Chains A and B, each alone.
Chain A
Amino acid sequence: MMENKEKGYFALVLHAHLPFIRHPEYDDFLEEDWYFEAMCETYLPLLDIYERLTGENTDFRVTMSLTPPLCNMMTDDLLRERFRRYYNQRLELAEKEVVRNRNTQFYEVAKMYERKFRRIRELYEDYYHGNILDGFKKFQDMGKLEIITCGATHGFLPLEIRKEAVYAQIKIAADDYKLRFGRGPRGIWLAECAYNPGDEIYLKANGIRYFFLETHGIIYGSPRPRYGVYAPVYCPSGVAAFSRDMESAHQVWSAEMGYPGDRRYREFYRDLGYDLEYDYVKPYLHQDGVRRNIGMKYYKITGKVGLNEKAPYNPGEAREMAASHAGNFMFNRERQIEHLNGFLGRKPIVVSMYDAELYGHWWYEGPDFLEFLFKKLHYDQKTVKMITPSEYLERHPDNQMIQPSMSSWGDKGYNEVWLNASNDWMYRHLHKAVERMVDMSNRFPNADGILKRALNQCAREVVLGMSSDWAFLMTVGTAKTYSTKRFIEHTNRFIGLYEQIMGNRIEERYLADIEWRDNIFSHVDYRVFSTGAQERAAAAARQ
């Protein structure tokens, strides 16, 4: 392709995140499936695409957050073994299904699952030897993929009162990133795109150069943004903020023209877990034997018909549709970018941000769509250039300085999803734990032995309690019992350890049990919560 012919840039940002869910105290735990499903339907299929594109020399750019909880789960030995158990079971069932469905209208789809689960095994074992972060790192090192971090546990920063907590979320995340990817993160996905003016000083303190905002974070910024959401801005601290384009978001999501609702695509709600004969499917259910979705589905959306009137899924037809949708999406980006270029007098950047799990888990053909989109953008046009935020800032370092507005991508645009009658009771406990954590860090600047272990575990419990996921799940009402339980557990574990530390009577068995349960951030240093650490970092960043 010729240099500099493009009229503007397109940055695809995928936010991959799950809360840290790992229960060694159970042999089999329902909520751990969230991770296994996302591995099979989204994370590994994305790597599969990156492998294929690279193999055929198709250039592409993706920015992807891999949150610290996700990175910790991906490298955990227990979850590694459980994931193997999960895909092996699925593969076993898929193989049986191919035999059972020979000469039926479901043969093609049964073959598809067998092929996909084989590929998952191949990627996971032969390509990445059980460590899929190596896969992501490989593409980052090639310059195709930019991996960004997120707050340590996806903490919702605007609802933290103590700046030590904000600093700790960022610092723990940046350290975890270095450990896994061999260099510091250049960008960050602030959990829920939730931004509190001024907090970006802690990004700068950790070498992070940019973050992402919801549309009105910039539109309501001051002074008025010259280029709307189509150019990044610098916060007064010098950290850059990229903002979300609603047109491309809408295109994937809207009812009239949204792609995932096409009748040829796979129907999410008709699942083999319910359709198969009970004795036959029982080995693939959880130990409680309750029928649930198992992730294998044989029907397509079909139309506005009942679940029992759905037609068989045709993988080839669905894939063609994904290609056609990718073509439509590209066409619209070309027109959008041409128009913006003329209007702004500058090459615009269109930033499309999505949950990674939308692609594959919710929209089964989503990864196919992305693969077609990457190929078409590479081979079929010259108007749009794919770019990562780091590359953009290198090419276009001259940007307007604006103080963005407080904002989030939640309903109504601010903090209400995480602060309402269903979850507001959490904050007095969370803030108290943070305050006590800060006090202990200030009080014990040089702990060692069991005291150090206890303090480090306190830090883990505090950050686990800060996950925005618990408040979110309480609001939406899904998994409310689980999320309430998790928040209460982490808070109580913190209180238990705090009382033992302050009473100078740490019980090794109690501590060891909690360490065994909540083993996230094995390298955490509790002093990250000290007031001195936060103040020094902010002062250095302001210079």
Chain B
Amino acid sequence: MTSSGQLNNKNQQPDSDYKSLPESYGNTEAALLPRDPNWMFIYWEITDNSKANLAKEHGHDIFEKARHVVRVYDVTSADSSKYFDIPIMIDARNWYINVPVGGRAYCCEVGLVLPDGRFIGIVKTNTVNLPTGRVSEVTDEKWMSVSSDFDKLLQISGVEYIGKGSGEVAKSLAQRWEMLRSVFSRAASWGVSSISSHAPAGPAPEKKFWLVADCELILYGATEPDALVTVAGRKVALNPDGTFSMRFALPDGNMDLPIKALSKDETDSRQIEIKVIRTTKNDGK
């Protein structure tokens, strides 16, 4: 234990309730959380009972035969029935969902797609409203300003600092005070991730048409909670339930990700190797 203290003699077992959390709660359910204009996080639990019922209804090999997906519905308006599927593994129990457009309402459903294209929904999430991540197109008559003024207003309001701006502030500080990454300075929460500087820059307000795109890599898996796991030689911290996930920047080129798990008694091991190739082509316009 890093945090410390000497035991109070009156209480010899201060940590008696420091045990791991339940692996499951016995309900088939799912939840969706907003992360930013383009990302959501979904977690789910599907009980053995639910799985058995699906197998009874659709055949015992249903989970091998069908593709596992998260179906992402755009539910911004009542009549919208747009959706797309993201391939997943049901045993992963959670996933980060990338959506092409912010500012919309989404709801997800974990399910199976049969070889003939039929969809079997297993469990649905709540609805999440994502922020747009940009300046509104809507103006307000009573409070309108001329648009050139608005661009200037954005500038003096510090639009250039949004997102990466506050990160830059903290980064410059971090050069002097590494320890700013500590509890006392909530301002340091600005500078937590170094990824921010690689994020695509937002649209310049004066340009009408634009496109930015980038991609990242999420690696996840699960093993025994007490196993030792390395990814590309780096030790990975497991969650209490034995799952793990890592997010990588994904530049153009090849990336090898050997994943190794070693059992706690060091008598058994498993290895999976993932190779990823990224190529980006830009029309240069």
Contact = CB atoms under 8 A, between A and B. Distances in A.
B163 A412 contact: yes
A292 to B, nearest CB: 10
A24 interface: yes
A227 B94 CA distance: 42
Contacts of B169: 249-250, 253-254
Interface string B140-179: 1011110001101110111101111111011011011101
B164 to A, nearest CB: 8
Interface in B67-120: 94
B173 to A, nearest CB: 6
B21 A416 contact: no
B184 interface: yes
Interface in A184-240: 192, 196-197, 214-216, 218-224, 226-230
B166 to A, nearest CB: 7
A161 B126 contact: yes
Nearest to A228: B157
A402 B143 CA distance: 11
B187 A415 contact: no
Contact of A219 (B22, B41, B154): B154
Interface stretch (A56-64, A141-149, A356-364, A439-447): A356-364
Nearest to B172: A255
Contacts of B167: 411-412
Interface string A470-505: 001101111101100100110111011000000000
A17 interface: yes
B183 A29 contact: no
A228 B156 contact: yes
> Chain A, interface size: which category?
35 or more
B243 interface: yes
Contacts of A307: none
B243 A425 contact: yes
A335 to B, nearest CB: 12
> Chain B, interface size: which category?
35 or more
Nearest to B192: A411
A66 B207 CA distance: 44
B88 to A, nearest CB: 15
A540 interface: no
Interface string A243-270: 0011101100111101001000000110
Given A226-B140, A255-B173, A406 B17 contact: no
Contacts of B31: 161, 427-428, 431
Given A228-B153, A253-B170, A476-B188, A27 B22 contact: no
B6 interface: yes
A409 B184 CA distance: 15
Interface stretch (B32-40, B253-261, B263-271): B32-40
Interface stretch (A4-12, A30-38, A84-92): A30-38
A344 B153 CA distance: 9
Contacts of B158: 215, 229, 245-247, 250
Interface of B: 1-8, 11, 14, 17-22, 25, 31, 33-37, 39, 41, 43, 45, 94, 126, 129-136, 138-140, 142-145, 149-150, 152-154, 156-159, 161-167, 169-170, 172-173, 175-177, 179-193, 196, 199, 237, 239-241, 243-247
29 contacts: A25-B14, A26-B7, A159-B34, A192-B189, A226-B140, A246-B158, A246-B165, A247-B156, A249-B169, A250-B169, A253-B170, A256-B172, A288-B4, A288-B6, A409-B186, A410-B190, A411-B166, A411-B170, A412-B199, A415-B35, A415-B36, A421-B245, A425-B240, A425-B241, A488-B19, A489-B17, A489-B18, A492-B17, A496-B17
